[in-house]
Amino acid sequence: CLLCFGGCNWQGNSSSNIDAIVCIDACFTQKRRSGLQDDPVNPTATVFLSQEEIDSMESEVDSLRKKKPSVQRRSGYVSKRHHKDEEDGFEQGMRIPTSVLQNCNESFTAADEKCQKASTQFFSDTGVMALLCRHDHVIHLANMTSAGEKQHYALALIKSLFSHLPDNFHIGLLYDIGCQLEQSCRKWGFLKPFLPQISFAISVFHAFGHQWPCQLIYHPRKWEGFGLSDGEGCECFWSSIKGLIPSLHVSGFHQRLFVIDFQVHYLDVKSLTGLGQWLLQRWNHCQAKKASAIKGLRKCGVDSLTLQAEWAAQVAVQTKATPLGHSAKATENIILQIMATQKSLENYETRLEELEKDLLHGASDMTSLNIQLAECHQKVKSFKQALQKQKATLGVNGLADLATLQSNSYLQLSMHALAIQTRIRDRLHQRKFELERLERSYHQTVSEQRLQNHTVTSVKWCEPGIVKLSTNYNNMCLQMAALIHQGKAPQGSIAPVLIPRDALFKLDVDDDIWQDAGLEDDTGRLPPAWLADENVQSGIRSLLELRRCEEEERCLLYERRMLMEWFSEEWSHLQ
């Protein structure tokens, strides 16, 4: 790309700065059917990696993974799938706990290399993986032949990029599962010579599927160096070549690569004439966001140094490892089950008392009454047995927590609200993943159109259930606020933030749905300003936005200079 890598773009920056920003994504609609006759090799230049480069990286990945035991002993890694009773921790070089990485991994099919996204039985080439710069220019493509999104394709693209860059050139890499890719690189030693020169991040569109601690570290709007880049350039590229899908399904191997190459060349020429307009649009967008951020900072009334310190404290607290994280979560779930079982038991015991009263006073239909009594006795017996088994799994500390919870209505509300909030998040994640199919449909056959119609219906059908959950959650939050006002809550308690219905389905990075304020066990301590002070919270958001706008400004000014230098050189040469 002219603006990213042209001329003297390398500035010799320190490792904390980013010289260029790139994004990676895979598309499994650009595939080719099996059993087609081979065609002649295309002699023209190509943006595709050679099969030898891809095979070499796959062999390197397999070789490094076979050394797992020795690597883990030398480096002191925490196993990714650690036992549920072990303490949570950090893998070497990672900034978020292992438990968070596991949850992110479970959220994305892209992170699961064994997930089949295209059939190798019917297709010889199953898709294309692309590496683009922030100006949506294709740098390299990799032809995919596996059923899933194997990591070696992304690694091969990154390695090829660095082979053309100066030493110490630092890139910012945006990828749907950037956290998982960095974890693999650090765990297995992938891209070891280049790893210090890569800042990993997640693309903005997919940030909603990651855990909140992961977003604090990997969201490009929350961390240094990425400006206002969003990592969605690949989506624009896939959309621009969607018209090739039908014909390339039945083309020859080399013909398919040639046609995509030709389209890439056409898009590059087309984009070159519009770079000036692109810079102008980005500059205007940046200035508008910068003005909004400055206004927000002034309104909050908190100085920047204080906001920076509060942001650092928030990141430190919300990304820390939780001792016995999995056991604590399991205990919490068991306590919720016990409370539900007790509630059901109480209902059946009340019903049993009513039936026994009817028996004493006489009933017209004794047969039916006896049947109901027998059923009710059986239910009471079953729930008592279940309750006994559930309590037996808690242990001493768990039983103490249960006793405290049962005697405190505020803590009961807090635990139920946290459970409902988790359900809302899960339902919103599922809804967003379904919408992704609609927002990113590149080519539709009749069957795919039916699937889209079904998805639309499914999404609309789920919305009332999510709204009902949010209403229940907000009602519990109001009850908790009332208990705090009445002095019936533990000292230092703060009420959770209500979830506004109009912003419920947006899943913005700063939405209240991500916050656990008032739901975690922080009672007895004064809450920090970043958690309890609305002015500090809004100030932090404005400060981060201002920092990204300032980065974007510097980048755009440098890109403008590069474009002017290139144009001057072209003009002089023409004269």
**pLDDT tens string 61-98:** 999 998 765 444 334 444 444 444 455 788 989 999 98
The pLDDT score that the predictor gives to residue 167 is 87
Picking from 145-159, 216-230, 430-444, which range would have the lowest pLDDT averaged per residue? 430-444
Note whether 103 and 329 are within 8 A (CB): no
Domain ranges of the chain: 10-63+94-277, 328-394, 409-489+495-531
The pLDDT score that the predictor gives to residue 445 is 43
Residues in CB range of 306: below 8 A, 6 or more apart: 536
The residues facing 33 across adjacent strands are: 123
Higher pLDDT, 567 or 387: 567
Higher pLDDT, 527 or 66: 66
Higher pLDDT, 118 or 108: 108
pLDDT digits over 492-506, tens only? Answer: 677 777 777 666 555
Q: What phi and psi values does residue 365 have, to the nearest 5 degrees? A: -115, 85
The pLDDT score that the predictor gives to residue 13 is 42
In this prediction, residues 315-343 reach a mean pLDDT of 67
Higher pLDDT, 513 or 471: 471
In this prediction, residues 112-123 reach a mean pLDDT of 64
User: Position 234: which residue type?
Assistant: C
The pLDDT score that the predictor gives to residue 195 is 94
The pLDDT score that the predictor gives to residue 410 is 67
* Collapsed DSSP state (helix, strand, coil) of residue 24: strand
Q: In the chain, what are the helix, strand and coil shares in percent, each to the nearest 5? A: 60, 5, 30
User: Position 530: which residue type?
Assistant: W
Note whether 264 and 47 are within 8 A (CB): yes
Higher pLDDT, 2 or 143: 143
Whole-number Cα distances in Å, 398 to 325, 331, 370, 393, 405: 14, 6, 39, 8, 10
Note whether 21 and 203 are within 8 A (CB): no
Note whether 330 and 99 are within 8 A (CB): no
What is the pTM for the complete model shown? Answer: 0.70
> Phi-psi bin for 202: left (phi > 0), alpha (psi -120 to 50), beta?
beta
The pLDDT score that the predictor gives to residue 109 is 57
Residues in CB range of 86: below 8 A, 6 or more apart: 324, 326
Residue 236 has pLDDT above 60, yes or no: yes
Q: 10 Å Cβ neighbour count for 436?
A: 15
Q: Which residue has the tokens 């400055």?
A: 294
pLDDT digits over 449-458, tens only? Answer: 544 454 445 4
The pLDDT score that the predictor gives to residue 549 is 96
Residue 55 has pLDDT above 60, yes or no: yes
Give the pair of three-digit tokens for residue 303: 């100085």
Dihedral of the alpha carbons of 35, 38, 39, 42, in degrees to the nearest 10 = 110
Q: What is the DSSP letter of 48?
A: B
* Collapsed DSSP state (helix, strand, coil) of residue 437: helix
* Collapsed DSSP state (helix, strand, coil) of residue 198: strand
pLDDT digits over 160-208, tens only? Answer: 999 999 888 999 999 999 999 999 999 999 999 999 999 999 998 888 7
Residue 442 has pLDDT above 50, yes or no: no
The pLDDT score that the predictor gives to residue 21 is 94
Closest Cα to residue 387, out of 375, 379, 376, 396? Answer: 379
What mean pLDDT is reported for the chain?
79
